[in-house]
Structure 1
Amino acid sequence: MKKKNWTIRLGIFLIIFCIPFFLFIAIMPFLEMEAKTKITLSTISLIIGEILFWSGGILVGKELFGKYKSYFNPKNWFKKEDQDKE
């Protein structure tokens, strides 16, 4: 059980740790660099963010990953709690 708890914590950490890599892509156009450098850094940041997100999803498991993924779905942002229970 301790090993499973450790993998879930690591998975959640990886999912949270991928957020700065995606935010870096949004900041990239405002930095003063050459276009080629921006494209390269944006691509690298996207790839690292995706790898961290999906490897964290694999570690936390199907059920928990689906739960956290539903939090990021805009359809679920304004649902009332009562509708989920029915």
Structure 2
Amino acid sequence: MKKKNWRIRVGILLIVFCIPFFLFLPAIPFLEMEAKSKITLSTISLIIGEVMFWVGGILVGKELFVKYKSYFNPKNWFKKGDKNKESQ
């Protein structure tokens, strides 16, 4: 059980730590550097963010990955809770 526990924790950390790489992308055009450097930096940031997200998802497992992935989907941000939860 402990072996699985550390994998879940590392997976969640990777998913959380990928967020700054995506948040950095809109700021890159405003940096004072050459266009080629901006393109390279944005590509590297995007690739690192994606790799961290998917590796974290693999470590967490399918059930938890789908749960946390739904939290990042803007369609689900303003939905009300499940009706099953309200009746309990």
TM-score, normalised relative to structure 2:
0.90
Q: Name the CA shift for 1:78/1:49 in 2 (closer, same or farther; >3 Å).
A: same
Q: How many residues align?
A: 85
Corresponding residue number in structure 2 for 1:24: 24
RMSD across aligned positions (CA)? 1.3
**How far 1:82 sits from its partner (Å)?**
4.0
Gaps in structure 1 of 5+ consecutive residues: none
Q: In percent, how many aligned pairs have the same letter?
A: 80
Query: Which 10-residue stretch deviates more, 69-78 or 11-20?
Result: 69-78
Corresponding residue number in structure 2 for 1:68: 68
Corresponding residue number in structure 1 for 2:52: 52
Corresponding residue number in structure 1 for 2:79: 79
TM-score, normalised relative to structure 1:
0.92
CA distance in 2, matches of 1:53, 1:82: 27
SS state of the match for residue 81, structure 1? coil
SS state of the match for residue 78, structure 1? coil
CA distance in 1, matches of 2:22, 2:57: 16
User: Moved runs in structure 1, 4+ residues, more than 3 A?
Assistant: none
**How far 1:30 sits from its partner (Å)?**
0.9
Query: Which 10-residue stretch deviates more, 18-27 or 31-40?
Result: 18-27
